[in-house]
A and B are shown apart, each in its own frame.
Chain A
Amino acid sequence: LAKTTQPISMDSYEGQEVNITCSHNNIATNDYITWYQQFPSQGPRFIIQGYKTKVTNEVASLFIPADRKSSTLSLPRVSLSDTAVYYCLVVRYNQGGKLIFGQGTELSVKP
């Protein structure tokens, strides 16, 4: 599975838009990009998944350029409750959706 690289930490303020970029240079044709959110002392929670272009749901948007070597998770108007670790993962469907977690990005939202 393609290794992902993302910033270790980011700071933001309430009401701002936050963009977290992830690099996955060795992504394969049958790989998807998925993002999870984890609060302290809880299990991760699925945020969004995409293959190419743009995906949007009620929580976030995911932008994937044509070469798919990177992706950007966009969180609109963050609040204090968005403080968490965000993981970017590459998922290969013929491996049963197995997830390999990297270090993640620790997002801190300040008042």
Chain B
Amino acid sequence: EADIYQTPRYLVIGTGKKITLECSQTMGHDKMYWYQQDPGMELHLIHYSYGVNSTEKGDLSSESTVSRIRTEHFPLTLESARPSHTSQYLCASSEYKEGTYEQYFGPGTRLTVT
């Protein structure tokens, strides 16, 4: 069972607030990812990191930012939340093991911006 955690699980916040979604993993994985998923839709990669001090933007443009100061921690920040940011945010980590690159996903944070 993967050990990847996200907090909070649910967040309702007003427009203009700054928020940070937390993601941490205890598996020592170098690679970590953030996805955004609207209800009934596919996941979109918004950020990824291949290790400490490495961050890249994903395929879907996002106003969020990320940081990777420690291997186990990959927080996502929105400086000024807007209703268009309402979505589910999923964090994942991966490692190459026994011929397979397997991503482990956290439970997600469901964000609602009012």
Tell me if A99 and B108 are in contact (CB < 8 A).
no
Residues of B within 8 A of A111 (CB): none
Task: Count residues of A near B (Cβ-Cβ below 8 Å).
Answer: 22
Instruction: Report how far A100 CA is from B45 CA in the complex, Å.
Output: 7
Contact with A along B69-107 (1 / 0, CB 8 A): 000000000000000000010101010100011111111
CB within 8 A of A97: which of B41, B96, B107?
A: B96
Instruction: Report how far A41 CA is from B107 CA in the complex, Å.
Output: 8
Q: Measured between C-beta atoms, what is the minimum distance from B87 to chain A in Å?
A: 13
Tell me if B103 and A99 are in contact (CB < 8 A).
yes
Add 12 more A-B contacts to A96-B50, A99-B45 (CB < 8 A).
Answer: A36-B103, A42-B107, A43-B90, A43-B105, A46-B100, A49-B100, A97-B31, A97-B94, A97-B96, A98-B48, A100-B45, A101-B35
Chain B interface size band reads 20 to 34
B interface list, Cβ under 8 A from A: 31, 33, 35, 41-45, 48, 50, 59, 88, 90, 92, 94, 96, 100-108, 110
